[in-house]
């Protein structure tokens, strides 16, 4: 799996798995997985994961929207 794109401290990896029909995007923040966008359903779904250390993630909205948009582009 290679890094598709880096946006600030976020990195996006486009991945595949034998248990899935379609590729998916993993979004990392400082090398820790933050979210995954899958295409297995009719519309893309995003799953957000809690940080390893801490209660929750908090990011500027414009940065999150930019990285999600870049991840979606990588799936097309």
**Could you read off the pLDDT tens digit of each residue along the chain, which spans 76 residues?**
566 677 789 999 999 999 999 999 999 999 999 999 999 888 899 999 999 998 899 999 999 999 999 999 888 8
Rounded CA gap, 55 and 53, in Å?
Answer: 7
Tally of structural domains, the chain: 1
Q: What is the reported pTM?
A: 0.87
Domain residues for the domain of 48 are 3-75
Q: Taking the C-alpha atoms of 38, 70, 15 and 54 in order, what is their torsion angle to the nearest 10 degrees?
A: -80
Question: Do residues 15 and 2 make contact, with C-beta atoms less than 8 angstroms apart?
Answer: no
């Amino acid at each position: 799996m290679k890094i598709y794109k880096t946006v600030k401290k976020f990195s996006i990896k486009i991945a595949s798995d034998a248990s899935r029909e379609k590729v998916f995007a993993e979004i990392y923040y400082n090398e820790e997985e933050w979210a995954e966008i899958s295409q297995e359903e009719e519309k893309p779904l995003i799953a957000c994961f809690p940080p390893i250390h801490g209660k929750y993630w908090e990011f500027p909205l414009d940065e999150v929207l930019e990285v999600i948009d870049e991840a979606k582009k990588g799936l097309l």
